[in-house]
Structure 1
Amino acid sequence: MKVLNNIAKAITKNYPGKKININDITQGFEIPSFTLQLVNHRDTTIAGVKFNKVYTVDVIYHGEKDKDIFQVADELIDKITLDIKDFKILNYEIEIIEKEAHTIVELMECNIKKVNLDDDNSFYSKLKKTIENITEKKCDFINTDLTGVDLKKGIFIIQPQNLNAETISINHKKEYDRTVNLIYLEDNYSNIMPSITWFEKQMKLLCEDLELRKSYINMDYSVSFNYGNDDEIYSAIVNINAELIVKER
């Protein structure tokens, strides 16, 4: 697995010559040595949208002397952090059990492949550009990588929901009803009221934007406010969700 291989390479670089076991502690294993065990992995979510994968790994150091074990426990994270590629360490805890130092580390996978719609002529691309121009905030799509985002500055996320087509004339012209969730995330739990007022103003400006209005017949919206989140990583994040109902022809 990629996350274990990344940690193993970082350990090899910083502790050359130490054997590394993956997942299984074999009988008669060498001491000193390391064992990496995947505890669990999951997708983080905010407002029902899946984002980055998070992995919990137990990095076990098997040592001979207490001094050596405590030293590795104290320095391990600092030594390997810069050499773990494509993952960001969120937090860790250390526990010494007999002759083993257990470093339980939680990592988030970075650099998820993103779909670039900036240069196309779709409604979603136009919506993204308009939001960024009006709000001066970053706007992205549901596959964004939150590890590179400063949530204190806020971010809009476009989540397409559905598209319904209806024939409206004998010439088979179509009318389209599009539903889009526009999610705003901000790490501002302690002072949310100014953000709510600001968001409502941005939605009015969005509907009044003359350039975007060339792309649709009518656009209505409803707004809901959500405080906190089940995922402990983003427990203090406020998300504001606007459902856009767009009619196009």
Structure 2
Amino acid sequence: MKFIANLILLNKLRQAEREIGYKLVFKEIPDLWINGLMRCDMTRTWKKFGLKISRGANYFTVGKIKDGISTRFDFAAPQYQSWLGGYTVKLKQGQEWTLQNHLNLAVADQRSWLKRYGDPHPFCDFKEENCRVLNDLIKLGNYSGTLYEGSCITHSDVGDGFANVWLKLSAIVMASAFNVFNSSLNLREKTLRPLDKGKTYETLKLKGYIAIFDIEKDVKVVLYGVGVVENDKVRINTFEIIKNEILQAMKSCEIVKV
């Protein structure tokens, strides 16, 4: 399975990293999340969404393993539906991006993820008016970024598509990619698929931090970390529980020139 991950994901990723000129390394992943990264080329997903990019990549992790399954899918866990990671992207020449353009990287990513997990109506609404600039800049080595706090409305990826064949195959590849990054993980595909919990793709409000870095004229880095906040449908608020760990992980990120 490591061969599959290398063949399908990592070769494309390395090509993307060379074209972008940079990659991300998270030196400290808090214990709330899997101690490894899923790394993948996002160029096709973002171009399909209409974003004017040349190349893009994603580096992310999800809730740590408990009882053989990621806590991302555990309604009672602080890591329920949490994301932690970062994007690198090279824009097409002459592009001037707004905050909304940067947020649309996450919108396209989330919709694609939900579709993979069987959501018949993948949805994510993330508007710049729902973001605010925080006072502190975030500094990673020689790079300074703007830190935002924002929220979006989307769906959970826990639903009745948990057993579809495409998701099983995707989970095999993802587990293999995590294992390539950290051979001590020994993840299996069942780890990255939700169990049937009797709830189907419920509507959620996510809240989190977004840090945007202008690396070069046409190269961007966007770090992200989110949790669930309480709304009229979901009586849980995890962002306040995990927000310090999200910032800790972001500040440990290294932007590496390839």
Both structures adopt the same fold (TM-score exceeding 0.5): no
Q: Kindly indicate whether structure 1 or structure 2 has the higher relative contact order, using CA contacts under 8 Å at least 6 residues apart.
A: 2
Which structure has the larger Rg over C-alpha atoms? 1
- Shorter-chain TM range is under 0.3
More strand by share: 1
